[in-house]
């Protein structure tokens, strides 16, 4: 009787191994098919991207009119006479750099369109600037030029100027 039980268990194990081998083979076939399909999709996406880049390069760059304002950093307050005075905080831009002359902040709608940190922007009658900062999310179609003093920023005011993104 024990002999028949061992034979039955051995047959059951062989049947299980064969079954799982067949299922594994089927799954490997599905995975290979999926990888092949993914490769085709990646190739089509790369071709579409290349075509879009060629079309964008063929178009001449165009200036756009944007609101241009000016900003400055608030003065850092430090109280050396206070016994437990904290050291002044460093004021940094959204890109993590110190605000300097020649830097600008762009509205987030422009940032999302590719006006990223480090890119150069030409502002008519003002010169070339580098994007280092972002403006509040409620502001759109605006560029903010960093000025060293509050008086310079106030004197600059608010203008509608032609602006061109140089690094596309």
DSSP 138: T
**Residue 37: its pLDDT value, please?**
85
Give 43-77 pLDDT, tens digit per residue. 887 887 777 666 655 554 556 899 999 988 876 66
Looking at the whole model, is its pTM more than 0.75? no
| Third-level CATH fold of 64-165 | Barwin-like endoglucanases (2.40.40)
Contact, 147 vs 70, CB < 8 A? yes
Give 94-136 pLDDT, tens digit per residue. 877 887 888 999 999 998 888 889 899 999 989 999 999 999 9
| CA dist., res. 134 & res. 92, Å (int) | 11
């Amino acid at each position: 009787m024990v002999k028949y039980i061992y034979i039955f268990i051995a047959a059951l194990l062989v049947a299980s191994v064969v079954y799982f081998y067949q299922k594994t083979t089927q799954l490997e076939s599905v995975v290979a098919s999926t990888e092949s399909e993914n490769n085709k999709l990646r190739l089509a996406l790369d071709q579409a991207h290349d075509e879009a880049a060629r079309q964008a390069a063929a178009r001449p760059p165009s200036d756009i009119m944007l609101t241009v304002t000016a900003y400055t950093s608030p003065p850092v307050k430090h109280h050396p006479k206070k016994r437990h005075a904290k050291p002044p905080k460093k004021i940094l831009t959204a890109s993590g750099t110190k605000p300097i002359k020649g830097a600008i902040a762009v509205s987030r709608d422009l940032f999302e369109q590719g006006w990223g940190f480090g890119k150069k922007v030409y502002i008519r009658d003002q010169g070339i600037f580098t994007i280092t900062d972002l403006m509040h999310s409620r502001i759109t179609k605006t560029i903010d030029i960093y000025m060293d003093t509050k008086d310079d920023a106030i004197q600059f005011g608010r203008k509608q100027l032609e602006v061109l993104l140089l690094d596309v």
